[in-house]
Amino acid sequence: MVFSTSFTAAQSLAGRAIVGAGTGKSPTTSNRLAGPSCLSFNSLKTSARQHLQHRVARSHRVGLVRAAAVEALEGTAETAPVALVEKSINTIRFLAIDAVEKANSGHPGLPMGCAPLGHILYDEVMKYNPKNPYWFNRDRFVLSAGHGCMLQYALLHLAGYDSVKEEDIKSFRQWGSRTPGHPENFETPGVEVTTGPLGQGIANAVGLALAEKHLAARFNKPDSEIVDHYTYAILGDGCQMEGVSNEACSLAGHWGLGKLIAFYDDNHISIDGDTEIAFTEDVITRFEALGWHTIWVKNGNHGYDEIRAAIKEAKAIKDRPTLIKVTTTIGFGSPNKANSYSVHGSALGAKEVDATRQNLTWPFEPFHVPEDVKSHWSRHISEGASLEADWNFKFAEYEKKYPEEAVELKKIMSGELPAGWEKALPAYTTESPADATRNLSQQCLNALAKVLPGFLGGSADLASSNMTLLKTFGDFQSTTPEERNLRFGVREHGMGAICNGIVSHSPGLIPYCATFFVFTDYMRAAIRISALSEGGVIYVMTHDSIGLGEDGPTHQPIEHLISFRAMPNILMLRPADGAETAGAYKVAVLNRKRPSILALSRQKLPHLPGTSIEGVAKGGYIISDNSSSNKPDLILIGTGSELEIAAKAADELRKQGKAVRVVSLVSWELFDEQSDEYKESVFPSAVTARVSIEAGATLGWEKFVGDKGKAIGIDQFGASAPAGKIYKEFGLTAENVIATANSL
């Protein structure tokens, strides 16, 4: 699967005028879609040089296919005959059309417009093994515009992936199918990341490319380039509008991710109509400002050699990511709906499907793959096996020369944790000095980084406050990609989405990212995708309550704990001291298919008697109890910084002659997973006198305190004052717990 072209460089540079989608008429936006003018090689080289040095005007810049591509095209072999390429492209289009039509649901427009690009990527450019979708050194592909997923399913089907058979195409968007309405990596092998919310995918692609650059810097040797693959992404106008894409792409430019190549499907149509109604910025100029190399392929419908040349040029650029703007016609081939919003998110309808078949001269029944197309694509099975076999041989040689590095890389590739890794976590006793759990967290992070080869991460410009710096490593930068501290800047949403890409790259990569807990509001969409796509990102969230004090209600989370407890497939952990913080990290590292959020305090907390790493693994456990026969008079429940308050209140209540049990409920999710017998041993159903205390919303606590118990919390925004004063004013005190308990 090497790049090739049947045209001379001069022909590929000349370009063609784009016509309407098979109708012979020019599109309404013909001024935007016109092909590049014919230029001599010398003028192209001169213009390219001037562009890089002086950033010449956009009107001149975007018409050029630069000298790097010219040189790369010289002397290449031939591709498949043009007629077969076009037949393959139409096969992709009609697989998408037929699947959407059968489901009466979906987005046919993008697959119809991007079919040429998809064909060239999967048939000519990308390296992969269809029979092993998880081969380590494969190229990664991300469809950020996930609504156009039938493009990817059609390509996976043609390439020979077992996950997308003909019956899967026919069951598009149906219950239990492996072809859901947006790509999901946990459903369909061959899909790298879960996309759908626009902008997330391109940010994931940044994470994938970051992982490749990091691992290449750590493990490649002058005589053995063992990590060497590209990340390709297709994003649309909607992705470009979402802010998360700009956050992530800004970092990609800063980090110099030269093996990230993104294709912007410039079809100027969104759900509400032409993007002119809301989106008129110059995307090319913006990406240049972000530090990207940029190319414009004006003829995305027929300009196969222009697309090939652009990819070649992008690969020649090593120090920057590349954005290739590919101007296409959405719904290409549909005589009445192409180039309109009506083809974006609805089935064409039987009449328009027939008209499109006639327009593109496609005489076949629905879902038919012509034999010559099938035969042409079938080679990817043997080629993929050969690519992987060659790499395996190369790795075996690498392993002989560099055994220590090979052991580390194998753990990253497989997800195998080093034996005894958990012993590196720090141990604490009640004699250890009181400390904020954010500081205890830093001790755990640094301990883990020494024993886990795939452990890396960083903060949203808050490392000195949320204590997330890895002290034995430097910063991942364009010139030091082997380092493990990721400086995300003030980009919470992009940070979370990038970490989703990192965790999706290899099973043994364990990324963490950090900010203040309240700012999970800025990254909730990325956290939700972590949970949905089974990505074990570790979210380190400090300043977890009104206990942060004087910064006031803008920084004080209230509803955040319960909001994440409501989110499926995520662990919300609120440790109370050193033992529980270490326990929370052990849980987070072990859970590679669900993310963890650690809510950590700013204020100092004592190390409490009875807390333990083992207890955290059960989610809820008893830290003290003076009752017998599992029959306490009263159960006090606390989390995080309020567990200390519960413990103090219990001491006073015991002096009153009461049998009091104190339970740390560090993770509701983990506790819910325990057996009924264990739950009864912690919360005996006969004991109805229960009081919970937590510096957050009381919503949901009725599950544990019952109808006859009381939940002490905060159901309003906080205030600006010292932490002790705020706690007193809101009733988060041992005195209030005692009074509440005595009222039951």
Torsion angle of alpha carbons 664, 666, 670, 672, nearest 10°? 60
- Give 154-157 contacts, CB < 8 A, sequence gap 24+: 154/91, 154/92, 154/95, 154/96, 154/99, 154/111, 154/118, 155/92, 155/118, 155/119, 155/121, 155/122, 156/130, 156/188, 156/190, 156/191, 157/95, 157/369
C-alpha distances in angstroms, 731 versus 197, 568, 693, 721, 725? 41, 31, 10, 15, 10
Between CA 409 and CA 221 the distance in angstroms is: 13
Burial of 502 by CB count in 10 Å (0-12 exposed, 13-18 middle, 19+ buried)?
Answer: buried
Following DSSP, what letter does each residue of 647-695 receive, concatenated? Answer: HHHHHHHHHTT--EEEEE---HHHHHTS-HHHHHHHS-TT---EEEE-S
Check: CB of residue 111 under 8 Å from CB of residue 96.
yes
- How big is the chain, counted in residues? 744
Instruction: Record the tokens describing residue 405, joined without a space.
Output: 């590095």
Burial of 543 by CB count in 10 Å (0-12 exposed, 13-18 middle, 19+ buried)?
Answer: buried
492 in catalytic set:
yes
User: Hey, which bits of 329-394 come out as E strands?
Assistant: none
User: Which one from 247, 492, 534, 644 is the annotated catalytic residue?
Assistant: 492
Between CA 326 and CA 328 the distance in angstroms is: 6
Dihedral angle sign, alpha carbons of residues 606, 607, 613, 614: negative
How far from the centroid of its chain's Cα atoms is residue 724's Cα?
A: 39
Between CA 465 and CA 138 the distance in angstroms is: 39
Between CA 78 and CA 100 the distance in angstroms is: 34
Between CA 288 and CA 281 the distance in angstroms is: 13
Between CA 471 and CA 449 the distance in angstroms is: 9
Instruction: Record the tokens describing residue 163, joined without a space.
Output: 């996950």
Lookup result for tokens 């740390």:
664
Between CA 432 and CA 243 the distance in angstroms is: 44
HEC assignment per residue over 132-160: CCCCCCCCEEEECCHHHHHHHHHHHHHHC
Q: Which residues contact 47 (CB under 8 A, 6 or more apart)?
A: 39, 56, 60, 61, 64, 66
The count of other CB atoms within 10 Å of the CB of residue 617 is 17
Check: CB of residue 546 under 8 Å from CB of residue 718.
yes
Of 522, 554, 518, 566, the C-alpha closest to 717 is 554
Check: CB of residue 647 under 8 Å from CB of residue 638.
yes
SS3 state at 498:
helix
Check: CB of residue 466 under 8 Å from CB of residue 516.
yes
Check: CB of residue 149 under 8 Å from CB of residue 92.
no
C-alpha distances in angstroms, 38 versus 16, 45, 67, 278, 305? 9, 13, 14, 33, 14
Check: CB of residue 144 under 8 Å from CB of residue 235.
yes
Q: Which residues are catalytic?
A: 492
